[in-house]
């Protein structure tokens, strides 16, 4: 139920060796709905973790809990510094006050912190330049409606980066942008990771985005992680039938037999008995799970995330998938 700062007696040296964020058995319930249902993961400095899955899988609820915008029902979220977490929202237009200049928007966090005068002006200008809005003087006195959609998202990123965060939470950061602009924003985010050691958790349903920016992928389904590992093995050799189904409808993935999942994601207030994916699982529905001798377990037990490959580490939650 807590969101804590991770501390240590060894000071900054040991802190640098800790994950930027560590989530331990996080649960978020809205009445009977289990939006997040026992998630554990960690993210290191200089790493991008993509949370992928259909709408309703719990991705956004989880990062809102990390940001402190949503209370946990149980579990823990440990941060090296809760004040060093910033968020980039999906809709930059909705995130920007139309009555404020871009300079005022980007500097709002500095105002709250008490930074003013020349220091504030210099920090705002540097953040805009780092976000690709150059020269910064062209943008400081303009309003959000006077710049393009891609530039508005850069303003949002500048407003986050001016606070020098250790962790950036990006909720569908390019979903509202034209395809021609998405690559530029993804390249910007990746450059911030590589250049500053920033950590990013990016929420997306777009596996192409995950492939282009992420170091690791965590696939969520109905509140739980069902597959997790480095990007290349998860996307090129997916082990969980849900991940395989998601990839089969991505044109860029190519060469995969198309798998149409039956029905919609179940209501989180009525999570199925046994494996929560079973009512939609191609292995169970086709009788393959019965042939493998695991159908009874699928009906009885909800599988836990288990390592199926040691190097690189790759885990999945499926009774039908064993270690390599």
Going from the N-terminus, what domains does the chain have, and what CATH number goes with each?
2-81+166-316 (3.40.50.300), 91-165 (no CATH)
The secondary structure element, H or E, covering residue 3 is: strand 2-5
Q: Which helix (H) or strand (E) holds 223?
A: none
Q: Provide the terminal-to-terminal Cα distance of the chain, rounded to the nearest Å.
A: 36
Q: What is the pLDDT of residue 91?
A: 85
Decide if 58 contacts 36 (C-beta within 8 A). yes
Write the burial class of residue 226 (CB in 10 Å: 0-12 exposed, 13-18 middle, 19+ buried): buried
Q: ∠ CA(73), CA(227), CA(31), 5° rounding? A: 25
Residue 231 CA to residue 163 CA, distance in Å, equals 29
User: Can you tell me whether residue 218 is helix, strand or coil?
Assistant: strand
Query: % helix / strand / coil in the chain, to the nearest 5?
Result: 40, 25, 40
- The residues facing 33 across adjacent strands are 30
Q: What's the token pair of residue 186?
A: 């993804």
Q: In terms of C-beta density within 10 A (0-12 exposed, 13-18 middle, 19 or more buried), how is residue 91 classed?
A: middle
pTM metric for this prediction: 0.91
HEC sequence for 150-202? HHHHHHHHHHHHCCCCCEEEEECCCCCCCHHHHHHHHHHHHHHHHHHCCEEEE
Give the phi and the psi of residue 73 in degrees, each rounded to 5. -80, -40
In a structure prediction context, what are the per-residue pLDDT tens digits for the chain, which is 324 residues long? Answer: 666 765 444 555 455 678 999 999 999 999 999 999 999 999 999 999 999 999 889 999 999 999 999 999 999 999 999 889 999 988 888 889 999 999 999 999 999 998 888 899 999 999 999 999 999 999 999 999 999 999 999 999 999 999 999 999 999 988 888 888 998 999 999 999 999 999 999 999 888 888 889 999 999 999 999 999 999 999 999 999 999 999 987 765 555 566 667 777 889 999 999 999 999 999 999 999 999 999 999 999 999 999 998 888 999 999 999 776
CA distance 223 to 276: 10
The pLDDT of residue 152: 95
Q: Which residues on adjacent β-strands are paired with residue 86? A: 168
Q: State whether residue 96 is helix, strand or coil.
A: coil
Identify the pLDDT of residue 16. 62
Residue in the block written with tokens 């930059």: 92
The torsion region of residue 223 among left (phi > 0), alpha (psi -120 to 50) and beta comes to: left
Query: Do the beta carbons of residue 78 and residue 4 sit within 8 Å?
Result: yes
Compute the distance between CA of residue 7 and CA of residue 29 in angstroms, rounded to an integer.
28
Per residue, the 3-state secondary structure of 14-45, as one string, reads HHHCCCCEEEEEEEEEECCEEEEEEEEEEECC
pLDDT of residue 8: 43
Check: CB of residue 57 under 8 Å from CB of residue 243: no
Please name every residue paired with 227 in a beta bridge, in sequence order, or none if there are none: 219, 316
Q: What pLDDT score does 125 carry?
A: 96
CA–CA gap between residue 157 and residue 167 (Å, rounded): 12
């Amino acid at each position: 139920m807590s969101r804590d700062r991770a501390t240590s007696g060894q000071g900054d040296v040991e802190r640098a060796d800790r994950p930027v964020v560590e989530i331990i058995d996080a649960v978020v319930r809205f009445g009977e709905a289990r939006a997040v249902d026992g998630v554990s993961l960690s993210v290191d400095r200089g790493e991008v973790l993509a949370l992928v899955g259909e709408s309703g899988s719990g991705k956004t609820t989880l990062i809102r809990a990390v940001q402190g915008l949503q209370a946990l029902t149980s579990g823990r979220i440990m941060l090296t510094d809760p004040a060093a977490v910033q968020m980039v929202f999906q809709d930059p237009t909705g995130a920007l006050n139309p009555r404020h200049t871009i300079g005022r928007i980007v500097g709002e966090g500095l105002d709250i912190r008490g930074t003013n005068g020349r220091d504030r002006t210099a920090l705002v200008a540097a953040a805009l330049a780092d976000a690709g809005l150059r020269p910064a003087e062209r943008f400081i006195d303009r309003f959000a409606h006077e710049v393009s959609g891609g530039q508005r998202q850069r303003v949002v990123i500048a407003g986050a980066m001016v606070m020098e965060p250790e962790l950036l939470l990006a909720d569908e950061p390019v979903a509202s942008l034209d395809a021609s602009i998405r690559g530029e924003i993804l390249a910007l985010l990746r450059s911030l990771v590589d250049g500053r050691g920033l950590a990013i958790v990016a929420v997306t349903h777009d596996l192409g985005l995950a492939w282009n920016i992420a170091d690791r992928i965590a696939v969520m389904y109905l509140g739980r992680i069902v597959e997790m590992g480095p990007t290349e093995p998860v996307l090129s050799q997916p082990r969980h039938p849900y991940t395989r189904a998601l990839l089969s409808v991505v044109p860029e993935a190519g060469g995969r037999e198309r798998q149409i999942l039956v029905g919609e994601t179940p209501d989180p207030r009525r999570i199925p008995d046994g494996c929560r994916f079973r009512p939609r699982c191609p292995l169970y529905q086709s009788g393959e799970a019965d042939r493998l001798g695991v159908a009874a377990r699928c009906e009885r037990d909800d599988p836990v995330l288990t390592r199926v490959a040691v190097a690189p580490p790759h885990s999945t939650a499926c009774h039908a998938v064993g270690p390599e």
